[in-house]
């Protein structure tokens, strides 16, 4: 087993991996950029090394600097987390060359899966079901028109090197194809330095369901059940659950077996995820493979009672999978809410800043994987994910009830978060009835929120405002300046409020 692992990441996932290291008696080495000195993963680490400026290219994406820390610290393995270098085949290979174990698949397996078109060619050979379309990039508009006519509109244009919705365009009719193709190509070129774009039939209101796989380095590959990830905004997942409410045991087995074939076709090792689109007839189509630990891995952990990070580390250390496919049991239901620093009043734009107050829920069936603490300033430089709140129950209803209760307890002050969005999702009749698809959130957000301000609660707020002011004054007097209440009466009124109020009424 490893003695020391370098975690080439930040935020909640760095903390998650660090916890696994400590549970296994392994020392954890953190790296951090200039703006992350006070970050939670640094506080909790056994060793911490600065790796440069805030810009990810200067720090968390800098292969040379990270390998330099690995050498100086004597780490014998590197966990890449997700994002940053986690799916970078060059990095995986550089680790091998430097004699440090990369906790993840080999560079060759990553390359086979990294390009969506190449993955598709390999998978077609393995008999994996696909959304109808091209398996290689389209060369010309004429070819694009031909393919689109063959599979039928609407079609989706996708960047071969893409991800996160970049370089994607939905095309409803032939007239839109030319401009969409140009837009998708230039966006792909700008985002990934590769303008290759391919065409797929667009599945209307699909579900997005993915299968967790795990493969050791001795030829054993298993699937650990699916996750329903249909709740998305801007092609980013917002809420995930496991198991999927539409997948029964037979469908799970069929999807799982396909996922295992996908992994085996690429000689895949360690943890990976095979994503599928599922249409309204419950037909599933291979979308892509994510060659890393996923953000939403905790829901799978809760329903399988497995610790995926422990298993990743053990597999990387050369151990065999400690169980067989027939030992995997799905038990209960888990739902994850991705708590982002974003402003619901401003179209969910990122809202970093200082966390002045943090009240976190606890109690039965609640897990929080977070990377934040009260008093910390969320930097503007990275992804706005603050924490993941995961609810577990014996069934979906109980998981929803526990999560709803926990969301009621959850409060982050000083920054805007999307916590209230989850209360709304969990109340929605369609969510409760598990009528989910990738358009669910956009449709829900278009409807006005039925939230009449209640005059009695406003009176309570007025009384509280006065009490805060009065108690703040008393406390300040008693503690000689260490005021804990709010000197609200001393705050000059500002025009910003009236500006923002009339903004909101526009």
Nearer to another protein by Cβ, of 480 and 502: the residue is 502
**How does DSSP assign 181-204, residue by residue?**
HHHHHHHHHHHHS---EEEEEPPS
Assess contact for 310 and 20: CB atoms under 8 A. Answer: yes
d(CA 51, CA 239): 33
Look at residues 109, 118, 115, 91 and name the one whose alpha carbon lies nearest to residue 263: 109
Q: Following CA atoms 300, 61, 319, 19 in sequence, which dihedral angle do they give, to the nearest 10 degrees?
A: -60
Assess contact for 122 and 112: CB atoms under 8 A. Answer: yes
Report which DSSP code applies to 385.
E
Question: Cβ of residue 466: shortest distance to another protein, in angstroms?
Answer: 4
**Radius of gyration, CA atoms only, the chain:** 24
The residues binding another protein (CB under 8 A) are 341, 343, 346, 349-353, 356-357, 359, 380-384, 408, 411, 413-414, 416, 420, 423, 453-454, 457-471, 475, 484-486, 488-503, 506
**How does DSSP assign 121-187, residue by residue?**
HHHHHTT--B-SB-SS---SHHHHHHHHHHH-SSEEEEETT--TTTT-EEE-SHHHHHHHHHHHHHH
Nearer to another protein by Cβ, of 447 and 491: the residue is 491
Question: Cβ of residue 190: shortest distance to another protein, in angstroms?
Answer: 13
Question: Cβ of residue 163: shortest distance to another protein, in angstroms?
Answer: 13
Return the active site residues.
Answer: 292
Nearer to another protein by Cβ, of 303 and 421: the residue is 421
Q: Following CA atoms 92, 94, 100, 104 in sequence, which dihedral angle do they give, to the nearest 10 degrees?
A: 0
Nearer to another protein by Cβ, of 170 and 467: the residue is 467
Question: Cβ of residue 168: shortest distance to another protein, in angstroms?
Answer: 17
Question: Cβ of residue 419: shortest distance to another protein, in angstroms?
Answer: 8
d(CA 338, CA 105): 26
Question: Cβ of residue 11: shortest distance to another protein, in angstroms?
Answer: 12
Nearer to another protein by Cβ, of 50 and 350: the residue is 350
Assess contact for 70 and 52: CB atoms under 8 A. Answer: no
Nearer to another protein by Cβ, of 202 and 406: the residue is 406
Q: Please, what sign has the CA dihedral across residues 189, 133, 283, 261?
A: negative
What number of residues does the chain have? Answer: 506
């Amino acid at each position: 087993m490893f003695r020391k692992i370098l975690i080439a990441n930040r935020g909640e996932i760095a903390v998650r991996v660090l916890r696994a290291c400590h549970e296994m008696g392994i020392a954890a080495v953190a790296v951090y950029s200039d703006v992350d000195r006070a970050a939670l993963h640094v506080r909790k680490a056994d060793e911490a090394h600065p790796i440069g400026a805030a810009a990810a290219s200067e720090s968390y994406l800098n292969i040379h600097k990270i390998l330099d820390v690995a050498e100086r610290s004597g780490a014998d393995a590197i966990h890449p987390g997700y994002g940053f270098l986690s799916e970078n085949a060059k990095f995986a290979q550089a680790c091998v060359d430097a004699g440090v174990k990369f906790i993840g698949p080999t560079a060759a397996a990553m390359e086979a899966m990294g390009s969506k078109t190449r993955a598709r060619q390999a998978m077609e050979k393995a008999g994996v079901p696909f959304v109808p379309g091209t398996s290689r990039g389209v060369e010309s508009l004429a070819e694009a028109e031909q393919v689109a006519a063959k599979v039928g509109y609407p079609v989706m244009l996708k960047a071969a090197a893409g991800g996160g919705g970049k370089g994607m365009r939905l095309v409803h009719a032939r007239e839109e194809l030319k401009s969409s193709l140009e837009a998708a190509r230039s966006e792909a070129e700008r985002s990934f330095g590769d303008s290759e774009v391919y065409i797929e039939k667009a599945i209307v209101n699909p579900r997005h369901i993915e299968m967790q796989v795990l493969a050791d380095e001795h030829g054993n590959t298993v699937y650990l059940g699916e996750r329903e990830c249909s709740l998305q905004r801007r092609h980013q997942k917002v809420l995930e659950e496991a198991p999927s409410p539409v997948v029964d045991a037979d469908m799970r087995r069929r999807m799982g077996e396909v996922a295992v074939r996908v992994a085996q076709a690429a000689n895949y090792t360690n943890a990976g995820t095979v994503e599928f689109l599922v249409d309204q007839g419950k037909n599933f189509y291979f979308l892509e493979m994510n060659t890393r630990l996923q953000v939403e891995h905790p829901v799978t952990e809760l329903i399988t009672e497995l610790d995926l990070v422990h298993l990743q580390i053990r597999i990387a250390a050369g151990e065999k999978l400690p169980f067989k496919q027939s030992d995997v049991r799905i038990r209960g239901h888990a739902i994850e809410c991705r708590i982002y620093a974003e402003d619901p009043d401003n179209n969910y734009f990122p809202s970093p800043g200082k966390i002045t107050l943090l009240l976190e829920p606890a109690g039965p069936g609640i897990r929080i994987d977070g990377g934040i603490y009260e008093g910390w300033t969320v930097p503007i430089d990275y992804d706005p994910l603050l924490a993941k709140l995961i609810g577990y129950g014996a069934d979906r209803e109980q998981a929803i009830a526990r999560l709803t209760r926990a969301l009621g307890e959850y409060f982050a002050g000083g920054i805007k978060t999307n916590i209230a969005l989850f209360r709304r999702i969990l109340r929605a009749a369609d969510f409760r009835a598990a009528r989910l698809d990738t358009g669910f959130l956009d449709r829900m957000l278009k409807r006005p929120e039925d939230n009449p301000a209640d005059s009695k609660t406003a009176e309570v707020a007025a009384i509280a405002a006065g009490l805060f002011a009065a108690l703040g004054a008393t406390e300040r007097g008693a503690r000689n300046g260490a005021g804990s209440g709010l000197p609200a009466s001393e705050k000059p009124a500002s025009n910003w409020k009236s500006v923002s109020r009339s903004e909101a009424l526009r």
